[in-house]
Chain A
């Protein structure tokens, strides 16, 4: 494979891994915020215990995801300096806002949320998790703004061979932005819903004694999935006319891999939509638990929304080729001057590190999820002594 191929593969691999972390972070934090709100309002201690258990899984995922995010940020400059040189003025603006608003602020809020457990006033602590949630969504918003610019560059003019920003608001009213960010947000909520449902189902399969705990969790998961899937599917299809207008050759450009990604995504979307709505009436009197076999399907279903999201993302990005900035900058022209060996070195280094991170994340989450809501005698990690 040549240097360009390696650089593209490196970007695809690292971004896919990063996206897996982001989806669960975004979906799960929303559910944790809902749980903590109920914990603050209600006298029933089960909500506080739920917040702690699911919050712990969320923090582990966030902590490892942030490591992948740092690399993502550097990668633009390392491998694609042509992009920052040519379009940095415009593309860099939403990206910089994202790091400031989301990364910087979100981590600060989250640090205080983790550390403030049992130390802060409960209303202040509740406000913090909602601030974390809000900044997490702001992150998705600004990243998609930057991505929409690559798909359909707006708000700029070209002078002296580089792009200049002329209209910041045009970035936000980009037709390739609005629907897409809604789609991603509801996809993340689906991931969160399916994850909580699946883990709860696993505990019912093992005949947990924490019936109320996991009944409430399962219900929340199923309801969130049932509410999110119609929107994720609907908004997904609503994007086709927009793509048809601005990127008419997308399907051909995406090729076999992108096409397969799209197919899987649509299939999984409908499957989850159907499954969640069949499950909703079965929540009545725990029929779903008594039936048992749907519980197994719920556990098997955990990876599905992740696969769908990667598929959809592959379609969106491969369909942009051969352009990096659609119609303005070709991918091959944006690459840094790096030797093939240098590129191979960074590709192997990052892929290996990311794979280890992802596996560590899944193993740790699986272990914690399996252990259930027991009060830990030893802290999960030095970062989360309170959890």
Chain B
């Protein structure tokens, strides 16, 4: 359960800024060279970020087979939207050899963000428009803070980031009030508190020009919605889990793989810092 949570959180915390950057770069970069530079701040981590989702779904299948089947087939349309957006975005980011591809990069990122919003609203019983709007602004904020940290000329992106705090904060509050009946409202509430605390932390860190701290804060905020929604619904129960032998086998593999992934992804971050 912890593993699934960790992988899901990792996906949203990391891939969140991919989509944010994907949405932003077209408007931040004034010419092609600038746009390419903005995008290139993100691309070294791109492969590593997106596969967190793949790992999360793999563990979902192996360890929570009953949940996986129900969840995916119940919310078919939302998942199909997310997937189509994901494929478009993934392909377009990597193939982007000319301005023509920008349509797919921006469009793909938008579809993914909206898709996740609709899906979470679906699961929670909240208004889809609010959640779509919320996740788009959240990913935008995360992407902007990431760029503020990684780019040298950060003035413009800082302006964008500051503007985004208000909508994200409003979304978090609205999401708590406009929700359907859930099994464990306390979990959702705790999530909202953590999200608001993360936002406040990011705000002050940005003012203090501690960009890395701000990035960590928005990463936490990105990871919260999915965890809070599924936690509040109380869908992850022992009843949907695999039986002990399967869990043991998976536990061993995860115990070996996860530290390796963390070490190597950390090495990638280190390397790119040295290269800057």
Contact = CB atoms under 8 A, between A and B. Distances in A.
B201 interface: no
A88 B69 contact: yes
A96 B59 CA distance: 5
A377 to B, nearest CB: 13
Interface stretch (A42-50, A161-169, A199-207, A302-310): A161-169
Interface in B148-166: none
Contact of A165 (B45, B245, B258): B245
Contact of B271 (A76, A104, A115): A115
Which of the four size classes fits the interface of chain B? 35 or more
B173 interface: no
Chain B CB within 10 A, most for which of A73, A92, A342, A381: A92
Nearest to A110: B47
Given A96-B59, A99-B59, A342-B77, A364 B54 contact: no
B69 A77 contact: yes
A145 to B, nearest CB: 12
Nearest to B40: A382
Given A74-B83, A345-B77, A382 B94 contact: yes
A84 B66 contact: yes
B264 A116 contact: no
Given A92-B242, A103-B51, A77 B61 contact: yes
A89 to B, nearest CB: 5
Given A74-B79, A78-B72, A381-B95, A103 B54 contact: yes
A8 B76 CA distance: 16
Interface in B250-269: 250, 253-254, 257-258, 260-261, 264-265, 267-268
Interface stretch (B84-92, B127-135, B212-220): B84-92
Chain B CB within 10 A, most for which of A81, A85, A99, A381: A99
Contact of B261 (A60, A105, A346): A105
B257 to A, nearest CB: 5
B245 A168 contact: yes
Interface in B25-49: 36, 39-40, 43-48
A93 B62 contact: yes
Contacts of B267: 112
Contacts of A257: none
B69 A84 contact: yes
Nearest to A364: B95
A97 interface: yes
A364 B258 CA distance: 34
A268 interface: no
A93 B250 contact: yes
A353 interface: yes
Given A66-B51, A96-B58, A385-B43, 12 more contacts: A64-B95, A73-B61, A88-B242, A93-B62, A93-B242, A99-B58, A99-B59, A108-B268, A168-B249, A336-B72, A353-B84, A360-B91
23 contacts: A63-B94, A64-B95, A67-B91, A70-B83, A77-B60, A84-B61, A85-B69, A99-B57, A103-B54, A105-B257, A105-B264, A164-B243, A164-B246, A166-B245, A168-B245, A337-B73, A346-B76, A350-B84, A353-B87, A364-B95, A381-B97, A382-B94, A383-B43
